Chains A and B, each alone.
Chain A
Amino acid sequence: MGTLLTTPVAPGAAPPRGTRGRRPLRRDGRAGWLFLAPTLIVLGLFMVLPILMALWVSVSDWTGNGSPFSSRVHFVGGDNYAALLAEPGLTRQNFATSVRNNGYFVLFVVPLQTALALFLALLLNQRKLRGRQFFRTAFYFPTVTSSVAISVVFLFLFSSTGTVNAALKLFGVDGPSWFADPRGIFHLALGDPADPPAALAGHGFLGLSWWDWLAGPSVAMCSIIVLVVWTSTGGFMLMFYAALQNLPPSVDEAALIDGATSWQRFWRVTLPQLRPTLFLVLTLGLIGTWQVFDQVYVLSRGNPANTTLTPAYLSYSSSFIGHQWGQGAAIAFLLFLVIVAFTLVQRWALRERR
């Protein structure tokens, strides 16, 4: 034993480089870069280069004709960003509206999908549950199917003569024409007053009155919220479920012996152990919900009255429909910042509570 340890090697350190070790190393290098070449080329061309190019377009006056690098395209500095954030006008108002809409979307979808996913995972995790496989399949299936196909189904479910309204009628409720109704639900809860309080209507932020900021998600946006919660819960449920399965049963049993009620065991024992998964689910939820695009593109294209407009869709429509490429690129970067910021806040908040 002792003789073997004459040349001590720190754990994880590279093996001693003799003549035997060196040759494979050089061969590995060439092979390594060769193996990585397709990946590096594709990611470089379609991930890194696009970001740099868009950064240039976001500070230029390119209108989509010819190359953004031609001499007819000029550097305009922060003009595109200023139009979105500072200068009064329709551009700023639309951007603010899209941020408001997406803000409410996040505010509703993330807690709902997280709570529902955790709840379903806890139900699935009951000992001696029959049909576990069936329930898992049922809840997860919407997550793997096409968002376009699902959106088409929901277009029918929530149409004015659709399934949801027919079901509501059974209870004597006249459902709205969901995708055509731009009224905010907070406004509706207040009885949709014709004369909003002057203090709120007269002042605002980013070209949008406080009254409009506080509208809540529109009825149309609510149907998209239901759709997204319905489709995304399955994936998060599986994450919680996997985490629950990996918890040592002894901790829970100890709490049980100590006489903790099931409610106490959930809050004091199970939930704290799930914190890493909770963190993952919340972060993925926040990142995902700020990117909502497919559903808006298929269902509403920002209508009615811009109440389902989101920054991702606005970025697309400004560029491809409005030919305001600089504006579209600038929105994409602002959205990127929002997503990064929320991820950081999220990280910080969960660490603080520890």
Chain B
Amino acid sequence: MTKKRWLGYAVLLLVAALYIYPFLIQLATAFKTDADATAHPLLPWPQQWSASVFRTLAEQDFPRWALNSVFVSVTITVGRVVFNSLAGYALSRLRFRGRRAVFGAVLAVIAVPSVVLLIPKFLVLNQLGMYDSYAGMIIPLLVDGTGVFIMKQFFDTVPVSVEEAARIDGAGPFRTFWSVVLPMSKPALITVTILSFQGSWNELPHYIVSRQDPALNTLTSGVASLVSGELGQGNQFPLKLAAALLMTVPVAIVYFVFSRRFTQGTYEGADK
């Protein structure tokens, strides 16, 4: 091995350590006592194992936040898969007047920075009487322009000949879409499912501005309020890090199972 290659490995390992260490600290601190966390912040293992913070979390609102997160994310994910693929199919395969304009509009909408829309979204939710409701938290996120774009790009690659047989047999657009094209679209559907779940599970600003009822807290908004000291005084880092750890688990599982999917789309061709 050349000297240069050794150097490359050394740098990669050093940076990888910097990327992994915070997660090790997070894992360890969740099992530390408050005193231990303060005394030994560098150690990636507890001096004395303690799982009491998990009991505290279970007794607090944490389970409710988790349930809300699951409910909201699953609903949004299902909605996005259905609506994005419908829209993507129409934009890719159905010929009708105004299709190009709609596609342009969808692309334009993707470009609007989401932070800029925070207050505007609250205004509309309030006006529609959807503030402080699951509907207000879910419906605005049911469609995402990026997902529509991914589905359209995928449908563009499906050969037209596949559909022709069905159409000649007299199948309507919906039938063709549902029983011919959709079953072929598993790769794109899985990608949209993963991105939607990950996105809606991690979403914070929308859940801040679409509700104020503590019973509607998701993990993100709940943990954010916990950090600002809702559960009492003191640093309570083991408690906070345990909460952060638990909310990371589902996304981590999805990531490690589908890590290749995460890199699809923009990064297509990167796999070797």
Contact = CB atoms under 8 A, between A and B. Distances in A.
Interface of A: 24-25, 27-29, 31-33, 35-36, 38-40, 42-43, 45-51, 53-54, 57, 67-68, 120, 123-124, 126, 128-129, 132, 134-142, 144-157, 159, 161-163, 165-167, 230, 234, 238-239, 241-242, 245-246, 287, 290-291, 293-294, 297-298, 301, 312, 315-316, 319-320, 325, 328-329, 332-333, 335-336, 339
A38 B113 contact: no
A54 B37 CA distance: 46
B96 A153 contact: no
Contacts of B177: 35
Interface residues of B, number: 97
A163 B96 contact: no
Given A39-B148, A144-B198, A329-B120, A242 B41 contact: no
A9 to B, nearest CB: 16
Interface string B10-54: 011001101110110110010000000110111000000000000
B233 to A, nearest CB: 15
Contacts of A128: 5
Nearest to A57: B123
Q: Which of B87, B97, B120 has the most CB of A within 10 A?
A: B120
Contacts of B263: 136, 140, 238, 242
Contact of A149 (B94, B123, B248): B248
Contacts of B198: 144
Given A25-B96, A293-B205, A316-B119, A152 B270 contact: no
B115 A291 contact: yes
Nearest to A262: B4
28 contacts: A31-B173, A32-B99, A35-B174, A36-B91, A39-B83, A43-B143, A45-B124, A53-B123, A53-B127, A138-B16, A141-B23, A144-B255, A145-B202, A146-B247, A147-B204, A148-B202, A148-B224, A152-B244, A153-B23, A154-B22, A155-B237, A162-B41, A167-B42, A230-B22, A298-B227, A315-B115, A320-B209, A329-B120
Given A38-B83, A149-B248, A49 B124 contact: yes
Contacts of A157: 22, 25, 41
Contacts of B42: 163, 166-167
Nearest to B128: A45
B272 to A, nearest CB: 7
B190 to A, nearest CB: 15
Nearest to A137: B259
Given A35-B90, A297-B205, 4 more contacts: A29-B96, A165-B41, A316-B118, A332-B119
B111 to A, nearest CB: 9
B237 A156 contact: yes
B41 A35 contact: no
B142 A38 contact: yes
A336 B115 CA distance: 9
Given A138-B20, A297-B224, A129 B8 contact: yes
A28 B20 contact: no
Contact of A31 (B41, B90, B114): B90
Interface string B218-235: 011001100110000001
Nearest to B147: A39
A31 B181 CA distance: 15
Contacts of B202: 145-148
A50 B97 CA distance: 27
B120 A51 contact: yes
Contacts of A57: 119, 123
